[in-house]
Amino acid sequence: MSGFSVSRNDDANISKLYLSGFLDAHTVPKFEEALQSCLNDEQYNIIVNLKDLDYISSAGLGVFMGFIEEIRESGGDIKLTNLSNKVHKVFDLLGFPALFEIYDNENEANQKFTSG
């Protein structure tokens, strides 16, 4: 079973989550916990950096879907950065680019948060 880990780094009013490894049905609870901890700390501006994410399954995308409504209701957003081609393909296939902002790097996402 391949591993998955998530680390968090808060920068002013933006929380950054770094995912690495395999995000699938088995490992989604970890990611869910991480997002929930952001919400518990009332951090609603969240950048999820997928640079080191090797694989994402539909269940992994499900976590994004499960949180986005509450986060946007609270005036925040989840922005995604640094998607590998393989990961981007899954996002694209399931129609996520229409619902989530996806950026090449953290700086762009950061600017969106600070200017928006």
Question: Residue 86 interacts with another protein (CB under 8 A)?
Answer: no
- Minimum CB distance to another protein, residue 42 (Å): 18
Q: Say if residues 10 and 42 touch (Cβ distance below 8 Å).
A: no
User: Rounded CA gap, 37 and 1, in Å?
Assistant: 25
Binding mask 22-61 for another protein (x = CB under 8 A): --xxx-xx---------------------------xxxxx
Question: Residue 85 interacts with another protein (CB under 8 A)?
Answer: no
User: Rounded CA gap, 58 and 10, in Å?
Assistant: 27
CB proximity list for 71: less than 8 A, separation 6 or greater: 39, 44, 46, 77, 78
Question: Residue 98 interacts with another protein (CB under 8 A)?
Answer: yes
Write out the residues near another protein by the rule CB under 8 A: 24-26, 28-29, 57-66, 68-70, 73, 89-90, 93-96, 98-99
